[in-house]
Structure 1
Amino acid sequence: MQRRTLLLAGLSTGLALPAHARIAQLGDAIDKAGAQRMLSQRMGKAWLGQLQPELAPRARQVLDDSAARFEQQLRELLAFAPTPEIAGSYKALLSRFGDYRTLLLSRPDREQVNELLKRSGEVLNLAHVATTQLQERSSAATARLVNLSGRQRMLSQRLALYFLARQQGARVDLVQRETLKSSNEFEQAMRTLASAPEATPAIRDNLALAQGQWVFLKSALGSQSPTAQAAGDVFSASENLLAVMETVTGQFARELGQG
């Protein structure tokens, strides 16, 4: 726990960013801003994953990695913020993340599942506002596609988060509603991305790969089992889908930077 405490304390130190970590282009900013949405859900998923003993070591590593990335990117985005309004959004995100961080540092407990969903949702909402503000800085259609493909990363993690929350006693009606909503949004966005004129052949190839990974995740989400095996299947499938959508979002971001 000491290592993670140090990891999560960095934002208050005012450390300067190394030159290579600074955001130089809007496409990169939208990509990283959107990733904050994903990380808000991935950290929650990992926290819950620790409640399954067989999954716990992997989940702890994912939580540590995600927290480190969230904080590094938050520093970068604060430094990049091109307007006072966007800077204000990231200061609000920093404040709200402090509350979420307190819970993430605590020992996982199924009695805290509803609070976890609440705090992860608050961080997600603030990160989404800031991402949209950055997208609106560009009139290029590709900026919207960077945002949309980046949001797919978040949905992959949100679906896994709510599956694991259901295993730990979250309200079934809430989980069913969020799962249906997120699944429908994911599938609609995949159609939009695949049909976009800005999608290069390489992007379309990766979108096809993502579609295949989505089939695996959707199948795993259909399990009603409370077992560690079911949790592990969803955890792994969500990580695999995330990896492909990370690539797609980066491709769209580079297209924006070249436009």
Structure 2
Amino acid sequence: MKNSFTFKSIILLFLVGMMVPSTNTISAQQSMKYGMLTFNKAVNISGKQRMLSQKMAKSYLYLVENPSDAKAKRDLLTSKIIFEKQNGIINQNSGYKVTKDRIAKVNGIWTEFKKLIESTPNYDNAKKIIDLNTDLLKATNDVVSAVIVESKGANKNDQDLLEDDGSGESDLELKQIINMAGRQRMLSQRLALYYFANQTTLKTKNSEQMLNNVFNEIDGTITMLLISNFNNEKIDEKLGLAMTKWESVKNNKNKLMNQGFKPAEMYKISNDLTKAFNTITGLYEKVKI
């Protein structure tokens, strides 16, 4: 009788154990998200930090010669507030030391950059911003890369390794497309930044080449997005809209390189392009695999 009870107890415990997820399983399920965010959302948000770094620099350079423009002042202020808030969100939701270390580097550069953009717009600080903005851009881009690497670890557990159906690779490709589309937002702002940096009062030996490089990267990336396997009818529609806006610049490259656009016109073009690519990036974020 005693032996029968022991055997039944063992069977019962075994069945209960089968019903309760193991610690490893729970950890794997929890790690599928970037804290309170999805990893797709985290890639999108961290990518926006790149854009904001360029938007703040662009707005400052524009305000040097257009100090009474209310929209540019508002853009500079709101971009600063959003940049700081989003940096905190990315940091709070990360469980990866590399990501946190890279965010710390962003914060170090941001301290100096913030002082410059908070100053009354002037040529001396504008030149310092031209020198420093690429450092901030690189640091924010490194955070995006770390988030993508973090997602690779979160989306692989022991069972995935045993039964790899290719979905992990597709998931990584999607995040890379979100990243690519998000870079277009940044490049749209950087285009105007170096358009203003290429004017006589601020021009350096590198500003014209930088402007040309940005032009070529935007144009080349549009082609890559057009052939993405993740495109759907809505994304194709929005890509068409973005291309229409881009054609107004592409067909006037000589005008771009020779200060042929009015400053307010270039300022608006960059914001319109950014808005178009932001919509596209958001659509890629929601793609289901």
TM-score (norm: length of structure 2): 0.76
User: What SS class does the counterpart of residue 64 from structure 2 fall into?
Assistant: coil
Selected match of 2:93 from 49, 72, 80: 80
Which SS does the other structure have where 2:206 is aligned? helix
Whole-Å separation in 1 of the counterparts to 2:213 and 2:95: 33
Q: Which residue of 1 aligns with 2:179?
A: 147
Structure 1: stretches of 5+ with no match in the other structure: 1-21
Cα offset, 1:225, TM superposition? 4.1
Say if 2:162 is the partner of 1:130.
no
Q: 1:213 maps to what in 2? A: 245
Counterpart AA for 1:100: F
Counterpart code for 1:70:
F
Q: Deviation of residue 185 (structure 1)?
A: 1.0
Q: 2:283 aligns with which of 248, 251, 255?
A: 251
CA distance in 2, matches of 1:162, 1:236: 14
Aligned positions of 1:18-57 closer than 5 A: 23-53=36-66, 56-57=69-70
Match of 2:208 in 1: 176
1:24-66 CA-to-partner distances (Å, cap 9, x unmatched) read 1000000011110010000001111212337621110110111
Aligned pairs for 1:192-207 within 5 A: 192-207=224-239
Write the letter of the residue equivalent to 1:31.
Answer: N
Q: Return the alpha-carbon distance in structure 1 between the equivalents of residues 97 and 277 of structure 2.
A: 30
How many aligned residue pairs are there? 234
Aligned to 1:114: 127
Q: Find 2:109's aligned residue among 80, 96, 106.
A: 96
Alpha-carbon distance in 2 for matches of 1:193, 1:180? 20
**Cα distance in 2 between the residues matched to 1:118 and 1:190:** 28
Is 1:62 the counterpart of 2:75? The answer is yes
CA distance in structure 1 between the aligned counterparts of 2:67 and 2:116, rounded to whole angstroms:
22
Tell me the distance in 1 between the aligned counterparts of 2:283 and 2:89: 20
CA contact (8 A) 2:47 2:144 kept: yes
In the alignment, the residues of structure 2 paired with residue 111 and residue 163 of structure 1 have an alpha-carbon distance, to the nearest angstrom, of 18
Q: Comparing 168-177 with 147-156, which one deviates more in the overlay?
A: 168-177
Would the aligned equivalents of 1:156 and 1:241 in 2 still touch at CA under 8 Å? yes
In 1, are the aligned partners of 2:177 and 2:225 still within 8 Å (CA)? yes
Give the TM-score normalised by structure 1: 0.85
Change in Cα spacing, 1:189 to 1:81, as seen in structure 2 (3 Å) is same
1:48 counterpart letter in structure 2: L
RMSD: 1.9
CA deviations over 1:163-215 (Å, ceiling 9, x no partner): 11222623354121111111111111111111011111111111111111112
Any runs of at least 4 consecutive aligned residues in structure 1 with deviations exceeding 4 A, and if so which? none
Q: Which residue number corresponds to residue 160 of structure 1? A: 192
Alpha-carbon shift at residue 217 of structure 1 (Å): 3.7
2:127–2:202 CA contact under 8 A, matched in 1 = yes
Stretches of structure 2 that go unaligned for 5 or more consecutive residues are 1-34, 153-168
Contact preservation (8 Å) 1:23, 1:29? no
Q: Following TM superposition, by how much is the alpha carbon of 1:150 offset from its aligned partner in structure 2, in angstroms?
A: 0.2
